[in-house]
Structure 1
Amino acid sequence: MKTIPNVMGSRIASPIASGLYWSGIWLAIGAVILSILLTGSSVSESALSPWVFSVHGIAALAGGFASARRSGRKGWYFGLANGVLYTLLILMISFLATDGGWSGAVPTLIAVACLAGAFGGMLGVSTRSTSR
């Protein structure tokens, strides 16, 4: 008889898709924390810009880590690819949801997400066990 995780569980085959999945999870956690910070304190929305870039950086780092760990090779490549796709998804969602356009923050977001993703990929590929 199979256990419940074996029956209901599914595995994401693509390292990039897995990294984007984990980036989304960390972005959601960061958004909840920033919402609590914004609601529970006297911080204004205009002062949240560094915090928002930090959340995006952490999400891209975690996604790059997960994608490189899953691939087991070329950590910076898979991390950078995850950072680029993560940024494109965020820009597309912001454009479709709020009609957000190109501003000075977009190149900063691209730089933060790509560098954090590549760094996370370098960390993630080195944590993969070689026994697989």
Structure 2
Amino acid sequence: MNRSPLLSGLTYSAGVALIGTLLASLLMLGTGLSENSWLAVTLFIHGLALLVGGIITGKRCESRGWYHGGLLGLAYTLVVWLIGFLAYDSSFTRELMMIAGLALAAGAFGGMIGVNVKK
């Protein structure tokens, strides 16, 4: 099956985010980490997920990796916001804006890496 680069990157990003969230939850359950550190952990997981997704997107698009990775970051942010809105009736928050900025940067950087790894 020949999927679009954006859909492939979004799928990999979601997978990495899911695995990272499960590992972080188990870590917090098994240790005495407070929930105050959750924002930093969340930002790390989203950043890592978008870096991986950006690399996949960049490899598949073969050009303009920063552009396609940035689009991946926007799409990922939209999906995160949509899930939060539908499940928790949340609106745009400061944390979501932080995730959006991180998503654009990590996705674009991953896209640039992915385009250059291909060659």
Which TM-score band applies after superposition, normalised by the shorter structure? Answer: over 0.9
| CA–CA separation in structure 2 for the residues paired with 1:95 and 1:46 | 22
Greater helix share, structure number? 2
Unaligned runs of 5+ in 1: 1-10
The one of 80, 83, 88 equivalent to 2:78 is 88
How far residue 28 of structure 1 moved from its aligned partner, in angstroms, is: 0.8
Whether 1:119 aligns to 2:109 is yes
Q: 2:35 aligns with which of 28, 45, 49?
A: 45
Runs of 5+ unmatched residues, structure 2: none
**1:61 partner letter:** L
CA gap of 1:95–1:33, structure 2 versus 1, over 3 A, is same
TM-score normalized by the length of structure 1: 0.86
Using the TM superposition, name which of 101-110 and 65-74 deviates more: 101-110
2:89 corresponds to 1:99: yes
Q: 1:99: how far off? A: 1.5
Cα-Cα RMSD = 1.0
Contact kept, 8 Å, 1:12 with 1:18, in 2: the verdict is no
Residue equivalent to 1:59:
49
The whole-number CA distance in structure 2 between the counterparts of 1:71 and 1:81 is 12
Return the TM-score normalized by structure 2. Answer: 0.95
Q: Structure 1 vs Structure 2: percent identity of aligned residues?
A: 36
4+ residue segments displaced more than 3 Å: none
Distance 2:78 2:17 in 1: 14
